[in-house]
Amino acid sequence: MKRLRLTLAYDGTTYAGWQAQPSGNTIQQTLQKAIASMSGETVVAHGSGRTDAGVHARAQEVHFDTHAAFTTDVWHRGLNALLPPDIRVHQIRNAAPDFHARRDALRKEYRYRIWNRDVMPPFLRFYRTHIVTPLDTEAMRAAAAILVGRHDFAAFTANPNRDVPDTTRTLSLLKVTHRNGEITIRAISEGFLYKMVRSLAGHLMRVGSGSVPAEETSDLLASRQRTARVQTAPPQGLFLWQVGYRRNNGKR
């Protein structure tokens, strides 16, 4: 048996997210079905983490085990032939037998992308969140500076304390850039809570629109309570951008 590691890109528009669900319309199940079509095996494809319905991935990392004798090149071409065009395998390689896409992930980067002009170009409509009102990126940066670091992010997750008792995380980067009407929020952490990036983005968007003063961010963090003062930004602007592992991890 060997373990394979895949780097996957997907357009999440029509999927109910990564994680398998009874509906069946998830990235994980679509991938597992393609693997089964190739090798006849029923496998579990382990992702570095879940992505919500409608969220995209530029580079999701996945591992699975197989007894099939295919080369990585045959797997690569076979899976891309079997998968729908909104899911693509960018890379596939042999991994160490103990490599684990989720547990070995050292850090993840998400990017939340906002189109901040009057008219949304039709070609971007599934891949950006559209905000017509000009956002104050200086205020967004002031709020982001408060959020960076090690904090209890209970106020910035959708279901605090439900299945994750410890809601403390280290946000190593939260950067707001603005270029040609497009605002990008980059978030890097060793791990994110459920809907944390969309909650951070939702908060920064409200700060940028002037609905919430940037300084209120400290109070929100300190409250450790999720309230309606923090809103979850819509999914289509969010991309799982990259997942970092220890050097050489996942290769052999």
Of the candidate residues 88, 100, 107, 186, the single one contacting its own copies (CB under 8 A): 88
Region 106-145 residues binding its own copies, contact defined as CB under 8 A: 119-123, 125, 127
Q: Does residue 180 belong to the site contacting its own copies (CB under 8 A)?
A: no
SS3 192: coil
Binding track, positions 8-27, relative to its own copies; x by CB under 8 A: -xxx----------------
Within a 10 A sphere around the Cβ of 40, how many other Cβ atoms? 9
Specify which residues 88 forms β-bridges with: 9
DSSP code at position 86: T
Q: How far apart are CA 23 and CA 196, in angstroms?
A: 25
The CA-atom distances, in angstroms, between 218 and each of 37, 46, 158 are 51, 36, 18
Total number of residues binding its own copies (CB under 8 A)? 18
Pairing of strands 56-66, 238-244: parallel
Of 85 and 165, nearer to its own copies (C-beta) is 85
Q: Does residue 213 belong to the site contacting its own copies (CB under 8 A)?
A: no
Binding track, positions 50-69, relative to its own copies; x by CB under 8 A: ------x-------------
Active-site option among 11, 52, 118, 136: 52
Report phi then psi at 21, rounded to 5. Answer: -145, 160
Of 88 and 229, nearer to its own copies (C-beta) is 88
E strand or H helix that includes residue 64: strand 56-66
Q: Does residue 87 belong to the site contacting its own copies (CB under 8 A)?
A: yes
E strand or H helix that includes residue 182: strand 182-189
Judge contact between 189 and 218, C-beta under 8 A.
Answer: no
**52 classed as catalytic:** yes
Q: What's the closest the beta carbon of residue 68 comes to its own copies, in angstroms?
A: 21
Q: What's the closest the beta carbon of residue 226 comes to its own copies, in angstroms?
A: 31
Q: What's the closest the beta carbon of residue 119 comes to its own copies, in angstroms?
A: 5
Q: Show which residues are catalytic.
A: 52
Binding site for its own copies (CB under 8 A): 9-11, 56, 80, 85-90, 119-123, 125, 127
